[in-house]
Amino acid sequence: MLARVASFTIVGVESRRVWVEADVRPGLPAFTVVGLADIAVREARERVRAALVNSGFEFPLKRITINLAPAYLRKIGPGFDLPLALAVLAASEQLAAGTLTSCAVVGELSLSGSVAPVRGVLATAEGARRHGLARLVVPVARAREAALVPGVSVLGVVSLPHAVAVLRGAEPPADPPPASEPAPGSAGPIPEIDLSDVRGHNALIPALETAAAGGHNLLLHGPPGTGKTMLARRLVTILPPLDPTEALEVTRVHSVAGLHAGGGLVSTRPFRSPHHTISASGLVGGGSPPAPGEATLAHCGVLFLDELSEFSRSSLEAMRQPLEDGRVVIVRGQRVVAFPTRLMLVAATNPCPCGGGGDACRCTAADLARHRRRLSGPLLDRIDLSVPVGRPSAAALDSEPGPSSREVRERVVAARERQAHRLAPVGLTCNAQLPAGLLRDLAAATPEALRTLGALHDREGLSARGHGRVLRVARTVADLAGSDRVETEHVEEAAALRIDHAAMVAAV
């Protein structure tokens, strides 16, 4: 007899529907899975056999063929265990085939028949809604996550017998467990940190505020121990909260990566700080099968590259296109996978290998040349703000604390609201996302401001990209000031945050 049930596989951070077809017919006992399945799916044969027997069902001693359609799509992960078991039960007439109509199933089986959680349930629920499937059977530990998608009836199950009983209508779905704490790395900053912790750098707070208000990339450079990392880690505390669309995107990404505990939406912006020994594929994504990298895990949040000059050149070069496009496209053989990377890049670096800089530098000319070669000029040109962080004096360290994160965040949120109102017709959320074709129209700069920008372009040797980025930052400065037009003083303030940066790029 033939039976089939719908399931889903994850490609990038999206789901693709897969039909699990089971054919059970007389013949020599065999259990074959076809349809471009990976090792985890092929190993499901043994888990399904043991789970059926240990759950009190009969494992048919016949020729069993499982087809995962479409055949060209690679199927990955243990989430096909439960649909395989239900398809075998339906094909062997131990479960009415009609109970699987308009129903999608995902879940991993243990040998005892209990259902274990799997990754990417939120993307699966979105796929079920997209394909008009009314019901979704998921592990009870992921039922709360799947229920974030309206229009799909979520059936949480704890075991294979329970799944069969729920489909037959003999038992109700299990209640999902209480929402648990986010997994390490899935949330943003540690709650205790605050911008008021920073001492001696009150003059740098406006630059951080501007970066947060417009979603601009930021470079902090200066001697070691001056507070670059401290400032960067507190930047995320002044960012506006995630809007519902962003929260759904971040939750989907973290669910696919295994960083989501299965509760509600992620509520804080992610903050990722990879070690400088990370590979290019670890930073932007890759591997086999392609998995999201740190840039994707920082989607809608902050990616902090501490000790920028210590990262490998290949890793830094891999970041160039994702920063421009807001996504990274991984091509592996016949597969093309896209991962979102709309993020704020924050980098910190020392002026030289010894960290002294200027008259205190003890590096040789060869050391300095090697240091400059490791700083990617094209990457630096994609950074909007460059802030020198000097050594604060003892008196500055003992001074009164600066503004709190709450105070600065209120101004940032007000500026973001102005941007959202202005950019809503084109589907954007902040000034850093403005494409070149719309920049001049939406920036609303006065003729005097544009003439000032042109003079700065020629005098400072800005690139065409740098020209546009100064105008984007000027638009953010105007938003913070509550101005509908970009005036000359806004351009001058934005350019002052990039002038020494242009020199750094030229040196590289």
CATH of the domain at 227: 3.40.50.300
DSSP letters of 212-223? HHHT--EEEE-S
| Statement to judge: residues 209 and 82 lie in one domain | no
CATH number at residue 71: 3.30.230.10
| Statement to judge: residues 362 and 214 lie in one domain | yes
Query: Can you state the angle between helices 81-91 and 160-168, rounded to 10 degrees?
Result: 60
Q: Are 297 and 259 in contact (CB under 8 A)?
A: yes
Range of the domain at 272: 195-400
* Number of C-beta neighbours around residue 373 at 10 A: 12
- Give the end of a domain, one of 400, 416, 431: 400
Question: To 10 degrees, the CA torsion angle through 208, 209, 212, 217?
Answer: -40
- Give the end of a domain, one of 369, 400, 431: 400
**Three-state SS for 506?**
helix
| Statement to judge: residues 284 and 368 lie in one domain | yes
Identify whether 420 is part of a domain.
no
Give how many domains the chain has, as a whole number.
Answer: 2
| Statement to judge: residues 207 and 265 lie in one domain | yes
Give the C-alpha separation, 210 to 198, whole Å: 17
Identify whether 419 is part of a domain.
no
The pairing of strands 335-340 and 153-157 is unpaired
| Statement to judge: residues 104 and 219 lie in one domain | no
Identify whether 96 is part of a domain.
yes
Identify whether 416 is part of a domain.
no
Closest CA to 104 of 93, 113, 123: 123
pLDDT at 203: 87
- Residue 98: how many CA atoms within 13 Å on its side-chain side? 2
Closest CA to 85 of 165, 171, 163, 173: 163
| Statement to judge: residues 226 and 96 lie in one domain | no
Identify whether 373 is part of a domain.
yes
| Statement to judge: residues 314 and 376 lie in one domain | yes
pLDDT at 396: 82
Q: Are 260 and 254 in contact (CB under 8 A)?
A: yes
| Statement to judge: residues 159 and 211 lie in one domain | no
Give the C-alpha separation, 456 to 472, whole Å: 15
Q: Which residues are CB-neighbours of 103 under 8 A, at least 6 positions away?
A: 5, 6, 133, 134, 135, 136, 137, 167
Start-to-end Cα distance in the chain: 69
Q: Are 88 and 64 in contact (CB under 8 A)?
A: yes
Whether residue 83 is preceded by a cis peptide bond, meaning omega within 30 degrees of 0, is no
The pair of three-digit structure tokens given for residue 164, joined into one six-digit string = 């069969």
Identify whether 176 is part of a domain.
no
Tally the residues of the chain: 508
| Statement to judge: residues 159 and 207 lie in one domain | no
| Statement to judge: residues 243 and 371 lie in one domain | yes
Q: Which residues are CB-neighbours of 222 under 8 A, at least 6 positions away?
A: 228, 350, 351, 357, 388, 389, 390, 391
Q: Are 288 and 332 in contact (CB under 8 A)?
A: yes
DSSP letters of 60-125? P-SEEEEEEESTTSPB-SGGGHHHHHHHHHHHTTSS-GGGGTTEEE--EE-TTSBEEP-S-HHHHH
Identify whether 305 is part of a domain.
yes
- Give the end of a domain, one of 150, 168, 186: 168
Sign of CA dihedral 485, 488, 491, 497: negative
| Statement to judge: residues 143 and 284 lie in one domain | no
Q: Are 253 and 340 in contact (CB under 8 A)?
A: yes
| DSSP bridge pairs for 32 | 65
**Three-state SS for 20?**
strand
The pair of three-digit structure tokens given for residue 346, joined into one six-digit string = 């924050």
* Distances, alpha carbon 330 to alpha carbons 15, 321, 499, in Å: 16, 12, 35
pLDDT at 500: 60
pLDDT in tens, the chain (508 residues): 899 999 999 999 999 999 999 999 999 999 999 999 999 999 999 999 999 999 999 999 999 999 999 999 999 989 999 999 999 999 999 999 999 999 999 999 999 999 999 999 999 999 999 999 999 999 999 999 999 999 999 999 999 999 999 999 999 999 888 765 444 444 444 457 899 988 888 889 999 999 999 999 999 998 888 899 999 999 999 999 999 999 999 999 999 999 988 778 898 999 999 999 999 999 999 888 889 999 999 999 999 999 998 999 899 999 999 999 999 998 877 788 999 999 999 999 988 888 776 667 888 888 888 887 778 888 889 999 999 998 888 888 887 888 899 999 999 999 999 999 999 999 899 999 999 889 989 999 999 999 999 999 898 888 899 999 999 999 999 999 999 999 999 999 999 988 765 444 444 4
Closest CA to 112 of 68, 61, 55, 39: 55
Give the C-alpha separation, 82 to 467, whole Å: 55
Closest CA to 104 of 206, 20, 23: 20
Closest CA to 450 of 485, 421, 419: 485
Q: With residue 137 as reference, give the H or E element that holds it.
A: strand 135-139
For residue 23, the one-letter residue type is D
| Statement to judge: residues 111 and 220 lie in one domain | no
